[in-house]
A and B are shown apart, each in its own frame.
Chain A
Amino acid sequence: MTNFIQQIVSGLASGGIYGLLALALVLIHRSTGVINFAQGEMATLSAFVCWTLISHGWAFWPAFGATLVLSFAGGLALETTIIRPIQGGPLLGIVILTIGLLIAFNGLDTWIWGGAAKQFHGPFSTAPIRVGGVAFSKQDLGVIAVAFVVLALVGVLFTRTRLGLGLRAAAVNPDEARLVGVRVPSMLALGWGLAAVLGAIAGVMAAPSLFLEPNMMQTVLLYAFAAAVLGGMDSPLGAVVGGLLLGVLLNLVGTYVHWIGGELRLATALAVILAVLLVRPSGLFGRAAARRV
């Protein structure tokens, strides 16, 4: 029983990271219809930036804040310089472009910081705390808390602010949005900036437990795909819930289905992706756009 609870807590912690990255994927997908394959590598780059600031003597939280600001600017710049020129072209072209970015960012990380794994001291201690036989760390709890806080903030932004309204309008119907005066290109750029920030949070939260190296987010990206698909590619809430569910599911399956174990963890995530896409493409929370003629 304690093992069961243990697996759920640590599953939620890794699921929180999947959910955060999935949230970034969903933000871009719902506004432009594109899956950003570079999202994981953008997150790794952000984590490296944060690590560099910390290793130059910054305290964690200021370094984290600066990283988020830089990531936001980077996301904006990426959209305006590279994505926007081919926006409106074939979707697959944009997807292939993001794969180019994936490869380029990965190479850049290795070029600048080398391939060796680095210890990343996060804000939360990784030392285990025991409560009634269940061992978990402040890191685990911290990541779960961060995931929920971020989800709440994104929720407030989207449903309670004018900017959120504009972002949603540009995503749902860009032509109409322009007619009411929304500057759609700015909204798309903001969407990329926001996604970069969410990815940065995911990257920095993941780095202490995964160790920081250029390929750190490659498998996390696949888990995030699974989380986003499970939750419904266009649902921010679904992305986070999908992430948490997936984290717990993978841990329980890995623990109790011995044949799968830890070795087929990635394969299980892929199975989730394929099953959802083939059986229920709208996922748990996604809905086909409501339409009545």
Chain B
Amino acid sequence: MRPKQVAFGLGVLVLVVLPFVLSDFRTVQLATVGAYFIAILGLDVLTGHSGQISLGHGAFMAVGGYTTAILMANHGVRDLVTIPIAAAVAGGIGLVAGVPALRLSGLYLALATFGIAVVLPTILKKFDHFTGGSTGITLFGKPTQTGHGVGVWGLTNNQWLYVLTWTIGCALFLFAWWLLDSRFGRSLRAVRDSELAAAASGVNRAKYKVLAFGVSAAFAGVAGALFAINVAYTSPDTFPITLSLYLLVGAVVGFFGSIWGAALGALLIQFLPDIVGLIPHVDPKQGGPTTFFFGLVLVVLMLALPLVLRVASRVANRGYLGAR
């Protein structure tokens, strides 16, 4: 067996054991980590491997989250069924967004996606007949919740959410792994590393860049749907600009955009407040210190990137952020 297969196997093993040793509270936290994990996988495909930066992936999560919430609350669709629909809707919007994105160089794509993430909450509030406005949509107690009170295999509701999220997470990880090791992934990286050379060797750069946007957005859509299912609630404030920025931090922490580090990034987003709380005289509930350390982690990692790249430059098929 190759090291990557061993690593994956060990990862799955840890995921299976965890709910037996952790409290119910930690289990549901880890379910949220699973949603971040999936969103970061999507960002890895887009930014790490195709070199297109997105500062607005929270917006695609919101699309997925609201698709699920609206279908569940207003149309009586069961939560499990809404997940592929959320992926399709977010992925479709991603494909559409990918076309104008082709015309924007890296810098301006960052600017535009940042703008989308900042604006999104105001748009969600504006179309309130559809989205519930600032109050959002609550899913708590809806009969369409599969896990709620079902008790399959004697699972608690939180354990059910954990199983659901991570089953999908592992499946999507395998999909991303396969995808990035395939011809598709090689073409993406070829376009990232040199658009000119890729075009010269016959790679249709537009096709691959747009497809990457679509795939990435679909991942985020699934993450958003699971987010909504996990907390049984969506509102504009569920998807603030900070969520988008934290996803970027997570992707960078995860070995600069490699899917193999996505779990690390997702864990950091969830548990950094707890880690910060360990520092004496710091109150993580105040919010400021945690945010500060998020930023600091990103700054330090980006400063270290040139060094890391030099060390890792001979490892093939790696994703990395910061390609042009």
Q: Give the B-binding residues of A (Cβ under 8 A).
A: 33-35, 37, 82, 85-86, 89-97, 99-112, 114-115, 214, 218-219, 222, 225, 229, 263-267, 269-270, 273-274, 277-278, 281
* Minimum C-beta distance from A233 to chain B (A): 9
Tell me if B286 counts as interface (CB < 8 A to partner A): yes
The residue from B51, B108, B114, B294 contacting A103, defined by CB atoms under 8 A apart:
B294
- 9 A-B pairs within 8 Å (CB atoms) are namely A37-B110, A93-B305, A96-B252, A99-B248, A104-B299, A106-B291, A110-B286, A263-B122, A270-B115
Further pairs besides A100-B295, A278-B100: 8, Cβ < 8 Å? A99-B298, A100-B249, A105-B295, A107-B287, A111-B288, A114-B288, A225-B115, A267-B122
Which chain B positions have C-beta within 8 A of A108?
288, 292
A110–B288 touching, CB < 8 Å: yes
Distance from A25 Cβ to chain B, minimum over Cβ atoms (Å)? 10
Let me know if B290 and A107 touch, CB within 8 A.
yes
Is B305's CB under 8 angstroms from A99's CB?
no
* Interface membership of B143, Cβ < 8 A: no
B306 and A95 contacting across the interface, CB-CB below 8 Å? no
B291:A110 contact, CB within 8 angstroms: yes
CB closest residue in chain B, given A228: B111
Task: Bits for B53-93, please: 1 = Cβ < 8 Å to A, else 0.
Answer: 10100000000000000000000000000000000000000
A225 touches B111 (CB 8 A): yes
A107-B289 contact in complex given A92-B110, A99-B248, A101-B299, C-beta closer than 8 Å: yes
Please choose the segment from B14-22, B154-162, B316-324 that sits at the chain A interface, where 4 or more of its residues have CB less than 8 A away. Answer: B316-324
| Given A89-B322, A102-B295; A222-B249 close (CB under 8 Å) | no
Interface of A is mostly: helix
Which B residues are in CB contact (< 8 Å) with A92? Answer: 51, 53, 106-107, 110, 321-324
List A contacts of B294 (CB < 8 A): 103-104, 107
**Main DSSP-derived SS at the B contact region:** helix
Q: Which residues of B contact A225 (CB under 8 A)?
A: 111, 114-115
Q: Are B305 and A111 in contact (CB under 8 A)?
A: no
Q: Contact check, B291 vs A264: say whether CB atoms are below 8 A apart.
A: no
Q: Are the CB atoms of B288 and A93 closer together than 8 Å?
A: no
User: Closest CB of chain B to A87's CB: distance in Å?
Assistant: 11
- A267-B245 in contact (CB<8A): no
Contact of A277 with B108 in the complex, beta carbons under 8 Å: yes
Chain B residues at the A interface, C-beta cutoff of 8 Å: 51, 53, 55, 100, 103-104, 106-108, 110-112, 114-116, 118-119, 122-123, 125-126, 241-242, 245, 248-249, 252, 286-299, 301-303, 305-306, 321-324
Give Cα distance in the complex from A107 to B296, angstroms. Answer: 10
B249: chain A residues at CB < 8 Å are 100, 103
Contact A100 B107 (CB under 8 A): no
Roughly how many angstroms separate A266 CA and B219 CA in the complex, as a whole number? 27
**Chain B residues with CB below 8 A from A115, complex form:** 287-288
Q: A89-B306, A264-B122 are in contact. Are A218 and B241 (CB under 8 A)?
A: yes
In the complex with contacts A100-B295, A111-B292, A229-B111, A85-B303 CB distance below 8 A: yes
Contacts of B324 in A (CB 8 A): 90-92
Chain B CB within 10 Å — which of A114, A219, A273 has the most?
A: A273
Q: Are B322 and A93 interface neighbours, CB within 8 A? A: yes
Q: Which of B111, B241, B292 contacts A104 (CB 8 A)?
A: B292
A95 to B294, CA, bound (A): 16
Chain B's closest residue to A262 (CB) is B122
Given contacts A99-B298, A107-B292, A111-B289, whether A263 and B126 have CB atoms under 8 Å apart is yes
| Of B107, B125, B241, B296, the contact of A95 (CB 8 Å cutoff) | B107
Chain A neighbourhood of B242, CB < 8 A: 103
Most A CB within 10 A of own CB, among B248, B287, B323: B287
Q: How far is B256's CA from A172's CA once the two chains are assembled, in angstroms?
A: 32
Contacts of A90 in B (CB 8 A): 322-324
Given contacts A90-B323, A92-B53, A229-B111, contact A100 B288 (CB under 8 A): no
Kindly state the separation between the CA atoms of A35 and B112 in the bound complex, as whole angstroms.
12
How far, in Å, is A271 (CB) from chain B's closest CB? 9
